[in-house]
């Protein structure tokens, strides 16, 4: 019996039929519109009897659920399976393209096409096999090719689940016996002998497919099913033309070995062989693949349009890849702060790779034109100065998720990483399924990473919009929490209010995803700024358990330990941060602060100078360098550096404070008092002003005034007070009962 037919406009549940797009022994396929989710889908309406009873229907539903877990760029997604009015149907992703059979019907494909399409097909097989799913019916009619030459493989595992009905043809899916299911010309010999299918059966079918692509014809032929079966079991395929490269002929022969044990053992090995042909390398021996590449730098992608408004997209794609690939334990990925030093300049991937001591470098270019998104990427082997892989994605902007997932998976495969199923899930895990919310999150992170007042405010604004669209986006809440903390530190919001809101946002992120390392770090930061020190330490430790190589977590934890008077532990954490990112600007600056406050002035000068080499406009590092020089007795250098910093930022409270301190320490008392008067006139209740004025009064010997301003700083919840015990400026006050009481009220360890 044939499948029930539907006319255009007819409804099947909440799916409106638009057109028939295919038919076969396993059912009729329609393009339909999902009225609920407002999207086009493909409906495969099964023939009556394909599912014999409710038990078969239950098994099919279980299999369909397993197929729905195959989330891969080269596999057509299964959305649902349902039964309405005794009609069984499968709901799948609609693919705008043609079947591979249509392309082959026009003649043999070029070597370039064969390798490109074949490589994508092997990736789909690799992903399915890792989930324990064998296709069983690989053939040109089950492979769609989009207008952008992207492969989408259909009907994974359905040949085993369904019982095809009607007249069997040699090139249609058929059941030869209860154990022999598939399309005869693509069936492996062991299947025809009644043995169960395994991944090597799909390798055989893929070999038939390769032969057909390069020649335009089948390797085994017969006028009847009996003749076709005999050819598969005993005949050799006709010799391919010499126009087909020898290496490719060798791969096809290996796939078509009659004995399964003599074939490639997996789709991974076939893919490695095809990639070797693409790159001009020798074919890897059977059962062996090249050694994995264990280190990578993802450089900032170039914004081809030059429009600053779309800079968030090029930066965001590169940063997202860094974050996802960093989750893989077998791969060392250069952190963002180091990789992004190369933003905006002409880079030589081989030179960058040697500088950063990595084996591979990824570069990219991004162009957005309305709803069109073009992403070009190139992966380079540093030691060989050769391209490992390059790809151009021409997609709709709504396919941003698919592009990003595809690049991440391609990189892991091209680096020859053997990933577990859990690692693959982690690699393509999405922070939100809402594309618009994701776009807003990328904008938020782009602006927040600038660490400027305007950038933090914009980041907060975009985070708020993102969580309004997707209240379950934990990453947006985590980014929001860090923005609030920094706004409080910079005095752009009242510190107590900012830190409390940071804590609330971090807690909300953890309600959604308690395993998000960034959220634990954001909560640790907020709690430390709120002087909840024991809880802060617990959160720092949890963040590092979840992401041991998070440089920012090591850096912030180092500052926490140092503020608690645990200098040796703090320096150990700092060393780890420097080991991870020796060229990080914030880490080198933090090292300068810690070494300065512990009296290691030479080391402090080295790291502050390194900070200025990384960013000559980093005025806080310049001012602190001047302050450090004042402790070494290099007074002339101290005054010079502070004067330069003050000229670059005339109204900066902290810089003016450093300058005042240096003037007082170097004997320029009158100038220091004038600067102090200016600081008082510009005072704001932002936490920073009161703390700086208190320290300046100490240098000028005004101790009672210093305590008055310290108490103001306490009321304002100044973040500077976390360093009260270790800041050498206040060392002479330690014996004063007022100081001891203030330390107690803050909650610092005695």
Q: Given this model, what pLDDT does residue 423 score?
A: 76
- Could you read off the pLDDT of 582-637 as tens digits, one per residue? 888 889 999 999 999 888 999 999 999 999 998 888 888 999 999 999 999 999 99
CA-CA-CA-CA torsion sign (343, 349, 351, 356): positive
Q: Given this model, what pLDDT does residue 52 score?
A: 60
Q: Are 166 and 2 in contact (CB under 8 A)?
A: yes
Which one of 88, 137, 470, 686 is the catalytic residue?
Answer: 137
Q: Model pTM?
A: 0.65
Indicate whether 156 pLDDT > 80. Answer: no
Indicate whether 390 pLDDT > 60. Answer: yes
Q: Given this model, what pLDDT does residue 178 score?
A: 38
> How many Cβ atoms are within 10 Å of 476's Cβ, its own excluded?
31
Indicate whether 419 pLDDT > 80. Answer: no
- Known active-site residue 137: yes
Q: Given this model, what pLDDT does residue 453 score?
A: 82
Q: Given this model, what pLDDT does residue 163 score?
A: 43
- Could you read off the pLDDT of 292-326 as tens digits, one per residue? 788 999 999 999 888 888 898 999 999 989 888 88
What band does 176 get if pLDDT is binned at 50, 70 and 90?
Answer: very low
Average pLDDT, the chain: 87
Distance CA 289, CA 205 (A): 22
Q: Are 584 and 603 in contact (CB under 8 A)?
A: no
Beta strand residue intervals within 260-371, DSSP E: 295-298, 302-303, 332-333, 360-369
What SS3 state is found at 362? strand
Distance CA 143, CA 117 (A): 10
- Could you read off the pLDDT of 239-272 as tens digits, one per residue? 998 899 999 999 999 999 998 888 988 888 899 8
Distance CA 245, CA 243 (A): 6
Tokens (6 digits) for 183: 């399309």
- Mean pLDDT confidence for 13-33: 87
What SS3 state is found at 507? helix
Q: Given this model, what pLDDT does residue 280 score?
A: 82
Q: Given this model, what pLDDT does residue 171 score?
A: 45
What SS3 state is found at 1? coil
Distance CA 408, CA 419 (A): 12
Indicate whether 164 pLDDT > 70. Answer: no
Long-range CB contacts (within 8 A, 24+) of 235-241? 237/211, 240/211, 240/214, 240/215, 241/215
Q: Calculate the alpha carbon distances from 53 to 50, 83, 257 in Å.
A: 9, 12, 39
- Mean pLDDT confidence for 484-489: 91
Indicate whether 732 pLDDT > 80. Answer: yes
- Could you read off the pLDDT of 561-595 as tens digits, one per residue? 999 989 899 999 999 999 888 888 889 999 999 99
Q: Given this model, what pLDDT does residue 56 score?
A: 65
What band does 173 get if pLDDT is binned at 50, 70 and 90?
Answer: very low
Q: Which residues of 173-188 are buried (b: 16+ CB within 10 A; e: fewer)?
A: bbbbeeebbbbbbbbb
Indicate whether 441 pLDDT > 90. Answer: yes
What SS3 state is found at 11? strand
- Could you read off the pLDDT of 60-89 as tens digits, one per residue? 676 666 667 677 889 888 888 888 887 888
What SS3 state is found at 167? coil
Q: Which domains can be identified in the chain, with CATH numbers?
A: 1-94 (3.30.200.20), 97-290 (1.10.510.10), 295-430 (3.40.50.10070)
Q: Calculate the alpha carbon distances from 705 to 31, 86, 680, 708, 724 in Å.
A: 79, 87, 12, 5, 16
What band does 468 get if pLDDT is binned at 50, 70 and 90?
Answer: very high
Whose CA is closest to 701, among 725, 665, 743? 665
Tokens (6 digits) for 63: 């299999």
**DSSP symbol at 357:** T
DSSP, residue by residue, 553-603:
HHHHHHHHHHHTT-HHHHHHHHHHHHHH-TT-HHHHHHHHHHHHHTT-HHH
Indicate whether 420 pLDDT > 90. Answer: no
- Could you read off the pLDDT of 347-386 as tens digits, one per residue? 888 888 888 889 999 999 999 888 888 888 888 888 877 7
Q: 280 phi and psi, to 5 degrees?
A: 85, 10
Q: Calculate the alpha carbon distances from 388 to 108, 145, 276, 428 in Å.
A: 27, 24, 10, 21
Q: Are 624 and 641 in contact (CB under 8 A)?
A: no
Look at 509 and 131; give whichever has higher pLDDT.
509
**DSSP symbol at 234:** H
What length does the chain have?
A: 750
Give all strands of the β-sheet with 97-99 in edge-to-edge order.
97-99, 143-146, 151-153
């Amino acid at each position: 019996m044939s499948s029930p037919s539907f006319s255009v406009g007819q409804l099947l549940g909440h799916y409106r039929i638009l057109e028939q797009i295919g038919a076969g022994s396993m059912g009729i396929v329609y393009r339909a519109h999902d009225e609920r989710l407002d999207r086009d889908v493909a409906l495969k309406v099964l023939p009556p009897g394909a599912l014999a009873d409710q038990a078969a229907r239950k098994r099919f539903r279980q299999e369909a659920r397993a197929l729905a877990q195959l989330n891969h760029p080269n596999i057509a997604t299964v959305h649902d399976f349902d039964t309405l009015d005794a009609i069984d149907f499968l709901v799948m992703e609609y693919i705008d393209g043609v079947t591979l059979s249509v392309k082959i019907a026009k003649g043999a494909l070029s070597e370039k096409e064969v390798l490109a399409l074949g490589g994508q097909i092997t990736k789909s097989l690799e992903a399915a096999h890792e989930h324990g799913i064998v296709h069983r019916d690989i053939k040109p009619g089950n492979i769609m090719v989009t207008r952008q030459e992207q492969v989408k493989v259909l009907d994974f595992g359905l040949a085993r689940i369904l019982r095809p009905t009607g007249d069997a043809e040699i090139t249609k899916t058929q059941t030869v016996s209860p154990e022999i299911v598939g399309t005869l010309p693509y069936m492996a010999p062991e299947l025809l002998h009644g043995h169960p299918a395994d991944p090597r059966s799909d390798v055989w079918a893929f070999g038939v497919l390769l032969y057909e692509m390069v020649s335009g014809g089948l390797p085994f032929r017969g006028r009847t099913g009996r003749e076709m079966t005999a050819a598969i079991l005993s005949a050799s395929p006709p010799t391919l033309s010499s126009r087909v490269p020898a290496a490719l002929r060798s791969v096809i022969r290996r796939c078509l070995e009659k004995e399964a044990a003599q074939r490639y053992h997996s789709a991974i090995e076939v893919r490695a062989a095809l990639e070797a042909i693409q790159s001009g390398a020798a074919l890897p021996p059977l059962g062996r693949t090249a050694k994995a590449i264990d280190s990578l730098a993802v450089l900032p992608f170039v914004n081809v349009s030059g429009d600053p408004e779309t800079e968030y997209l090029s930066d965001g794609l590169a940063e997202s890849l860094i974050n996802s690939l960093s989750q893989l334990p077998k791969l060392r990925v250069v952190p963002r702060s180091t990789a992004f030093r190369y933003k905006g300049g002409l880079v030589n991937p081989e030179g960058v790779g040697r500088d950063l001591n990595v084996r591979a470098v990824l570069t990219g270019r991004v162009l957005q034109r309305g709803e069109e998104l073009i992403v070009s990427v190139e992966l380079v082997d540093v030691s060989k100065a050769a391209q490992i892989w390059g790809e151009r994605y021409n997609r709709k902007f709504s396919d941003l998720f698919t592009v990003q997932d595809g690049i991440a998976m391609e990189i892991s495969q091209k680096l020859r990483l053997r990933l577990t199923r859990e690692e693959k899930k982690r690699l393509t895990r999405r922070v939100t399924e809402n594309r618009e919310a994701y776009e807003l999150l990328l904008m938020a992170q782009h602006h927040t990473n600038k660490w400027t007042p305007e950038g933090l405010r914009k980041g907060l604004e975009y985070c708020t919009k993102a969580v309004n669209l997707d209240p379950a986006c934990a990453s947006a809440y985590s980014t929001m929490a860090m923005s609030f903390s920094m706004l409080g530190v910079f005095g752009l919001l009242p510190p107590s209010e900012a830190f409390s809101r940071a804590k609330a946002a971090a807690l909300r992120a953890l309600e959604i995803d308690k395993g998000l390392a960034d959220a634990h770090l954001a909560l640790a930061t907020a709690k430390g700024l709120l002087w909840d020190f024991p809880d802060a330490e617990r959160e720092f430790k949890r963040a590092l358990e979840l992401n041991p190589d998070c440089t920012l977590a090591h850096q912030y934890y180092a500052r926490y330990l140092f503020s608690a008077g645990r200098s040796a532990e703090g320096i150990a954490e700092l060393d780890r941060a420097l080991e991870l990112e020796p060229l990080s600007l914030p880490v080198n600056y933090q090292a300068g602060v810690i070494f300065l406050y512990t009296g290691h002035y030479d080391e402090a000068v080295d790291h502050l100078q390194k900070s200025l080499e990384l960013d000559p406009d980093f005025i806080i590092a310049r001012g602190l360098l001047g302050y450090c020089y004042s402790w070494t007795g290099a007074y002339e250098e101290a005054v010079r550096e502070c004067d330069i910093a003050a000229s670059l930022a005339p109204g900066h409270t902290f810089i003016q404070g450093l300058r005042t301190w240096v003037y007082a320490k170097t004997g320029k008392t009158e100038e220091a008092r004038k600067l102090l008067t200016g600081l008082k006139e510009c005072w704001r209740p932002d936490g920073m002003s009161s703390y700086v004025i208190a320290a300046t009064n100490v240098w000028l010997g005004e101790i009672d005034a210093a305590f008055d301003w310290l108490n103001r700083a306490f009321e304002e919840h100044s973040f500077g007070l976390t360093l009260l015990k270790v800041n050498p400026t206040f060392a002479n006050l330690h014996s004063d009962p007022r100081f001891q009481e203030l330390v107690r009220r803050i909650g610092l360890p005695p």
